[in-house]
Amino acid sequence: MDLAYLWFFIVGVLFVGYFVLDGFDFGVGMSLPFLGKNEVSRRQIINTIGPVWDLNETWVIVAGACLFAAFPEWYATLFSGFYLALLLILLALIARGVSFEYRHQRNDPKWKARFDWMIVIGSALPALLWGVAVGNIVQGVPIDADFNFTGTLLTLLNPYGLWVGVTTLMLFWLHGVYFIALKTDGQVQQDANGLAKRLAIPTVVFAAGTVVWTWVIAGGRDAPLLWLSVATGAIAAVALLLSVWANWIKREGWAFGFGALTIATAVLSLWTALFPYVMPSTTDDAFSLTIENASSTDLTLTIMSWAALIFLPLVLLYQGWTYWVFRKRVTRAHIEKAEASVH
């Protein structure tokens, strides 16, 4: 098997890792104004992702670096082409990341409120824009003979791109709310279960729309893995319904697990709909970037394959262990005790 094809899937898996992991902490951030009714509950919410948000975010850095190394042409076209959208994502991620560190540094409600809003916006904006970006990659964008993107930011804000964006926003949000329900107790947990119920129907509607629309787009061009896209899309649909059901019967672990499965299979469904393209050109199919013409040499890919083969399982192992270490719920009592010991 050609290594470039393997790397198309490895990069896909890295983005699956990123969207599943950072996805739920985007969702947790977005829930702050809805579930964090007082300082204790807000701290309870933020502390559910306290030990893990930055290791979740590392996935995008590693995914980006691997995209650069394995598909330099794709990386160059994508990052220069989606310039302003990526700038917004970067600013949002910066604002969000420092807010986690800074909000607790001063015991001043105004100071905290300001950083809380930065967490909310810094979570919602990437949740939306990553979906817009992925949607546009799948749909195709205007690319010229030199592989350069010729559109603008407005080119990206088309109906399909926005629809996929709202879908990821809803999926991440729901996924985050499941996580809060899994990791907290008391009022916050009750509210989270309630919010999950309200989010369920619109999420299902948007997700179903994305799945069908994507198949229509991929069906209109050479898409040899469309069957796999349909299969993974179907699994995503079932997983989403199962997560809603698990939440309904108050099985938080199952709800979160099915939420993760939904995002993972949904991303794979988009990824396989794209195959064997990496960025189709809407200007002329001859200008499209494909796995073949966008990839690095075999030598680079071979070296990277060894690194990925050895280190990805190791990463999964120690990151999994981290989640195990921090498996306990963040209880109200915990926060109140911590507060008492600080002030």
Our finding on whether 120 is near another protein (CB under 8 A) is no
Site for another protein in 315-334 (CB under 8 A): 315, 318-319, 322, 325-326, 328, 330, 334
Q: Which of 146, 154, 224, 313 binds another protein (CB under 8 A)?
A: 146
Helix (H) or strand (E) segment spanning residue 56: helix 53-70
Nearer to another protein, 253 or 320 (CB): 320
Q: What's the distance, Cα to Cα, between the start and end of the chain in Å?
A: 61
Strands 277-279 and 289-290: antiparallel
Q: Which residue has the tokens 């059901």?
A: 245
* Cβ at position 36, least distance to another protein in Å: 12
Report how far residue 242's alpha carbon sits from residue 231's, in angstroms, rounded to the nearest whole number: 16
**Shortest distance in whole angstroms from residue 167 CB to another protein:** 24
Distance of alpha carbon 162 from alpha carbon 129, whole angstroms? 8
State how far Cα 214 lies from the chain centre: 18
CB of 123 to another protein, least distance (A): 14
Kindly state the smallest distance separating residue 262's Cβ from another protein, in Å: 25
Instruction: Name residues whose C-beta falls within 8 Å of residue 248's C-beta, 6 or more positions apart in sequence.
Output: 197
- Give residues 218-277 in contact with another protein (rule: CB under 8 A): none
> Could you tell me how many residues of this chain bind another protein (CB under 8 A)?
74
- The answer to whether 201 contacts another protein (rule: CB under 8 A) is no
- CA–CA gap between residue 263 and residue 193 (Å, rounded): 19
CA distance 336 to 186: 13
Nearer to another protein, 16 or 308 (CB): 308
Q: Is 107 in the site for another protein (CB under 8 A)?
A: no
Name the minimum Å distance from CB 55 to another protein: 5
Site for another protein in 284-313 (CB under 8 A): 296-297, 299-300, 303-304, 307-308, 311-312
Interface residue with another protein, options 98, 208, 235, 238 (CB under 8 A): 98
Contact 155, 283 (CB under 8 A): no
Subset of 35-94 contacting another protein (CB under 8 A):
43, 46-47, 50-52, 54-55, 57-58, 60-62, 64-66, 68-70, 72-73, 75-81, 83-84, 86-87, 90-91, 93-94
Tokens of 68: 């650069």
Q: Is 213 in the site for another protein (CB under 8 A)?
A: no
Nearer to another protein, 60 or 274 (CB): 60
Which pair of tokens denotes residue 109? 């409600």
Question: What single-letter amino acid sits at 233?
Answer: G
The rounded distance, in Å, linking the Cα atoms of 65 and 54 is 17
